[in-house]
Each structure stands twice: as structure tokens, then as C-alpha cells.
Amino acid sequence: MDSKVATRCIISFSGNHPLFDYSYKHNLYAPVIIRKISNSIHMDLLINGDISVSDSADLLLRKFGTKEGNEFSVIRVQLKSFDENGILEQINEIPSVIMGYLYLKNGKLFADFRFHRSKSIEVQGLLIKGIESGKEIAIKYLSAVSGEISFLSQMNILTPLSMIIYSAPSIGDDPLEKCLSIDGGIAQIEKKAGIKYRALIYLDSSPKEKDSLKAISEEEHIYEAEGNNPVFQEMRKLANDQVIFRASQFARVINGRMVISVFLPTYQVGELLKILAKIKVEMKENILLHLVRPFQPDLFEVI
């Protein structure tokens, strides 16, 4: 699976907000979540709570304001203009694109994503169009042999990750879960906007039913489908509202249950577990917690 969607690209953007200047002057790194609200672009920076008073991140918290968490803080800023976000949105909507993560580093915003090699011309076309239009875009890395394990291992160096595995009852008529239940396989949930979530499905053979699936590669048995499991939908909503960064999420259907594996910053594990506990109580769902552990590169032997 790890070699099937393995074309990886890292691009950088410049910005005119004081936050970009501050990051450059203080050599600041922070994971970023961008959300479009009405016509405004909102940028959330995640700051590990284990920072000293003298650290530049602490100065940033006091300069730009913060939303405090138990083990992390969120700096939320509104960008009056960030045209490059439109290119990010277009790239993210290309079938097979897995947007790994955004981060601010040394005064620039970086986007790290992967896609199937069949979409290379489409992705590069968007990037070239942006560069030609004069936007502050630079291609920092492009490789056809960099899969999910490599991505998460490198992110783990910058931001220590942990893995949480939980499960909830499967929904029989859900297109994603129906395919996983009938054909086996594993799905990687994509970070795309929309009421329903979407996921790439990796199978060992052709699916028995294709009506609700979009083919990415028939030869490699890679497909895309929508999902609408109410437990995962609620977790998705609450985690977004509380700025919980999910580096990667996988799903399987095992014995009638949708099993979700989440990779996230270790300092946010406690907050995600609180969300799961809240959903279990309020939705009265049979949610089971299976595993919590630090990231290790043998992830496909566990999930």
C-alpha cells in the first residue's frame, strides 16, 4: 500500500502578515490549520505547551494572542489576503491527493502532500500556473518514491506523534464502509472540505460493486468513496472546532465495526480522548478504545 500513492510534493508560500515576519526572525516552526470562513482566511498555529518563558514561541503567544489548551496553545490570526490558498484548495480537490500537513517555518508556509502518479501533470499544471501568475510559490521537493511511512516518520522528528485506534458500529449502507466490509482493504481518509468525508481505498483486487466508487487506478485497485458514519462525522466536527491536528487517519471494517487509526501530535492525545468520551456519552454509541501509543514506523502492521 505504501508505494501506491507515493508521489510527494512540498511547496512553500510567502505571506505579508506580521506572523510570517515573526516566524522568520525567530526561526519559528509550528503546524498550521487553515480554514476559510466566509471570505476570510483564518490560520491556526499549534504551539506545544511545553515551552519555556524565554522561548520565541512564548513571545509569539503574547504578541498575537492565544487560545489556551491543557498541553498546547492555538494562535489564531485572520489573513486579509492570501490568494495562494485558492491553489491549495484546487490541489486538495484533485482525486488521490492526500494533504499531509501545513506548517509555518522560517517565514514561509509549507504544504506537504502526496498523490497518485497519474495526477502528476494535473498537479504540476496548477503549480506552474500559479508560479507564472506571479504568486509567491516555490517547489521545494518532488519525488515519486515517498510514501506515508516516510512522511509520518519525518513529521515525527519535528512534532512527536502518537497513534490512537478506536472503533464504532459500522453503517451498512455507507458507500465507504460497504466496500471495506465486502472487499476488505484499508482506506485513508482525505482532508477535503464537504459535508461527507472522502477516502482513498486500497484493495487487493477489483471491488465486487463499483457504483459508488471513483476509480483512481483500476490496475492497482485504488478507489475513492464517500463516508458518513455519524460517530466519525461528530469526531471530525469537534476535532476541527478544537483545532486537533490529525496528521493521518486510516479506516478498516472488522467484524461489523469501523476501526479508525489516528496519527496526531502527542501533546493533543488527551484532547482527542476527551472528544471520544464526550461522543460516547452524548450519542450513546458503543465506542471502543483499542490502542494509544507513540508513533512507530511499523504502522501498517498495527492499523
What is the widest separation between alpha-carbon atoms in the chain? 59
Residue type, position 76, single letter: R
Instruction: State residue 53's pLDDT score.
Output: 42
Q: List, for residues 93-124, the tens digit of each pLDDT value.
A: 999 999 988 999 988 999 999 999 999 999 99
Residue 261, H or E segment: strand 257-265
Residue type, position 187, single letter: A
Work out the average pLDDT over 184-188. 94
Range name among 70-84, 145-159, 173-187 with the lowest pLDDT average: 70-84
Instruction: State residue 22's pLDDT score.
Output: 82
- Whole-angstrom distance, CA of residue 8 vs CA of residue 149: 12
Report whether 27 contacts 107 (CB < 8 A): no
Q: Which of 25-34, 132-141, 258-267 tops mean pLDDT?
A: 258-267
Which stretches does DSSP call E strand in 29-175?
29-37, 40-48, 67-68, 72-79, 98-105, 108-115, 137-143, 161-169
- All 3 cell numbers of residue 160? 512527536
Instruction: State residue 50's pLDDT score.
Output: 60
Round the average pLDDT of the chain to a whole number and report it: 87
Report whether 168 contacts 258 (CB < 8 A): yes
Residue that wins the pLDDT comparison between 3 and 122: 122
Report whether 75 contacts 44 (CB < 8 A): yes
Q: List, for residues 215-271, the tens digit of each pLDDT value.
A: 999 999 999 999 999 999 999 999 988 889 999 999 999 999 999 999 999 999 999
**Following CA atoms 77, 139, 264, 256 in sequence, which dihedral angle do they give, to the nearest 10 degrees?**
120
